[in-house]
């Protein structure tokens, strides 16, 4: 797999969010609107595994699923091919992108964030489109009927005509991705878009999913890489820092350390009084079927609860001070 670390994941999360948001991907007609939103994407993988997990904020998973399936994604290789092509056009200067007829691009905030991540680790993500890539965009954007020119697939046409704000006449590609509600749904699927129906941020949704799988023995690898479109807000960052302290059995979590600005806390999805687990012991074990397991990852204020059996030693975490309104 081309992806090596948390910085690579932060970059593809940015591209996935830009690709998926802003329009209806399930129909051939071009329909744009703010209702097709994707406010956050977080991606993760276990080291030495050919498997990626994708989480969004509440209710946004279907928008990502539809976009990727409409671009013909079936494997990790095809996912990265789509994202590299999308990044190429999103990253163009305005004049170059306009000459190609592309109407979607990174926001100023996302472009700056991408640059800051790339400045920290440049092992993945080209900043320049090649001539063959540009020619493919031009050719695919011009396909106004069902006849495909040589070297152009229906997935190419769907992606580049939709990003150009044009109707698509070719049949919608049959991507094979599906959403997963729990680790036992993963099986052999290599790209897993996690259903998030809770108010907690995407970081908590994806870590809840992975933790459940670790505790229940579904996942056996130990080194987790996690990276997202945005830096965690202050409350989620504190929660994640505390989460890292109570991992055991060689399990480690690696998140980006770059110059991006902290995400502003949204009281609707990350309460200002959010306090993570305060005390755990080596013998503590919280069953994933118990309500408290869900509450640990909910973003609610939690006092004096125990972590599941990923705790290595007694850890006392001091509660945050209440935020001043």
Model pLDDT for residues 150-194, shown as the tens digit of each residue: 999 999 999 999 999 999 999 999 889 999 999 999 989 999 999
Give yes or no for a contact between 281 and 311, defined as CB atoms under 8 angstroms apart.
Answer: yes
Q: What's the pLDDT score for residue 318? A: 43
Report the domain count for the chain: 1
Is 12 domain-assigned? yes
Is 316 domain-assigned? no
Residues of the domain holding 95: 1-232+251-256
Structure tokens at 282: 């080596």
Does 301 have pLDDT greater than 70? no
Is 157 domain-assigned? yes
Q: Which residue has the tokens 């997202």?
A: 228
Q: What's the pLDDT score for residue 269? A: 54
Is 265 domain-assigned? no
Instruction: Kindly state the average pLDDT of the residues 225-230.
Output: 96
Is 239 domain-assigned? no
Mean pLDDT for all residues in the chain: 86
Is 292 domain-assigned? no
Of 249 and 202, more confident: 202
The SS3 call for residue 130 is coil
Encode 210-230: b = buried (16+ Cβ within 10 Å), e = exposed: bbbbbbeeebebeebbbbbbb
Q: How far does Cα 122 stand from its chain's mean position? A: 19
CA distance 312 to 51: 26
Q: Mean pLDDT lowest for which of 47-56, 106-115, 305-314?
A: 305-314
Q: What's the pLDDT score for residue 288? A: 81
Is 275 domain-assigned? no
CA distance 118 to 281: 39
| Beta-bridge mates of residue 296 | none
Regarding pTM above 0.75, the answer is: yes
């Amino acid at each position: 797999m081309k992806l090596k670390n948390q910085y690579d994941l932060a970059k593809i999360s940015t591209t996935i969010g830009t690709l998926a948001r802003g329009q209806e991907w399930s129909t051939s007609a071009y329909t744009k609107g703010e209702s097709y939103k994707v406010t956050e994407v977080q991606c993760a993988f276990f080291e030495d595994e050919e498997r990626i997990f994708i989480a969004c904020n509440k209710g946004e998973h279907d928008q990502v699923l539809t976009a990727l399936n409409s671009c013909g994604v079936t494997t990790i290789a095809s996912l990265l091919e789509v994202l590299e092509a999308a990044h190429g056009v999103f990253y163009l200067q305005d004049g170059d992108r306009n000459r190609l007829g592309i109407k979607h691009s990174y926001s100023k905030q996302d472009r700056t964030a991408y640059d800051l991540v790339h400045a920290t680790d440049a092992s993945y993500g080209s900043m320049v489109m090649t001539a063959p890539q540009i020619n493919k965009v031009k050719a695919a954007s011009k396909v106004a009927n069902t006849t495909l020119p040589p070297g152009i697939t229906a997935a190419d046409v769907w992606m580049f005509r939709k990003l150009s704000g044009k109707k698509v006449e070719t049949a919608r590609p049959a991507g094979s991705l599906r959403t997963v509600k729990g680790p036992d749904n993963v099986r052999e699927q290599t790209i897993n878009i996690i259903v998030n129906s809770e108010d907690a941020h995407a970081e908590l949704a994806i870590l809840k999913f992975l933790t459940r799988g670790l505790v229940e023995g579904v996942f056996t690898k130990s080194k987790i890489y996690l990276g997202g479109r945005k830096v965690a807000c202050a409350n989620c960052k504190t929660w994640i820092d505390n989460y890292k302290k109570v991992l055991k059995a060689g399990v480690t979590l690696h998140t980006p350390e770059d110059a991006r600005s902290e995400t502003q806390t949204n009281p609707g999805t990350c309460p200002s009084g959010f306090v993570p687990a305060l005390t755990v012991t080596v013998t503590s074990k919280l069953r994933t079927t118990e309500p408290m397991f869900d509450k640990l990852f909910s973003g609610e204020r939690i006092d004096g609860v125990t972590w599941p059996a990923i705790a290595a030693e007694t850890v006392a975490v001091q509660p945050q001070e209440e935020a001043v309104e």
